[in-house]
Amino acid sequence: MGFDIWRLPSIFTSTAWGWHKRTSAPPGIAFFPLQGSWLALYRREELAADAGVAATGSGFSAITLAHNVHSEAEVDAVLNQATAAGATLIKSAERACWGGYSGYFADPDGHLWEVAYNPFFWPGIEPETLNPAGQSGNRT
């Protein structure tokens, strides 16, 4: 989510929900770990620039959804799968200034999705670590 007044959403999210911000995030980004996912807050202008759209007007709602994957090849595959299913490619995958690889598409309702590989960020549970019930962890 992108915000015009940067300090307020980070403070509100920590206070209202009791979520603890990840301390290793770069300036201008706040990551909050959730159960199986992350909430990421950005400065509105920076998030819009990353998506390659204008920060003002009707083209940017100040929110993007991100799907983090395990490789650059997987970024390309997901973008191809999304466009084959009717999404509009907004920004082709490319090396990002933060050291990863990402691209954006808009779903048929116009919501922006980032597909990203970040070599410095754990995207989630590896499929092979799930037990047959779909739960993580070992059961004895």
Per-residue pLDDT tens over the stretch 63-73: 888 888 899 99
Instruction: Go through 83-101 and write b for each residue having 16 or more CB atoms within 10 A of its CB, e for each that does not.
Output: eeeebeebbebeeeeeebb
Q: How far is CA 62 from CA 16, 30, 42, 46, 126, in A?
A: 21, 15, 9, 10, 30
DSSP-based three-state secondary structure for 95: strand
Average pLDDT over residues 74-84: 93
pLDDT tier at 11, thresholds 50, 70, 90:
low
The full set of domains in the chain, from first to last, is: 1-55 (3.10.180.10), 63-123 (3.10.180.10)
Q: What is the pLDDT of residue 137?
A: 43
pTM for the model = 0.61
Q: What is the pLDDT of residue 71?
A: 94
Average pLDDT over residues 19-32: 77
Q: What is the pLDDT of residue 103?
A: 96
Query: Taking the CB of residue 45, how many other CB atoms lie within 10 A of it?
Result: 16
Average pLDDT over residues 60-89: 89
Q: What is the pLDDT of residue 139?
A: 34
Q: What is the pLDDT of residue 67?
A: 85
- pLDDT averaged over every residue in the chain: 77
Q: What is the pLDDT of residue 138?
A: 38
Is residue 60 over pLDDT 90?
A: no
The answer for 4, left when phi > 0, alpha when psi is -120 to 50, beta otherwise, is: alpha
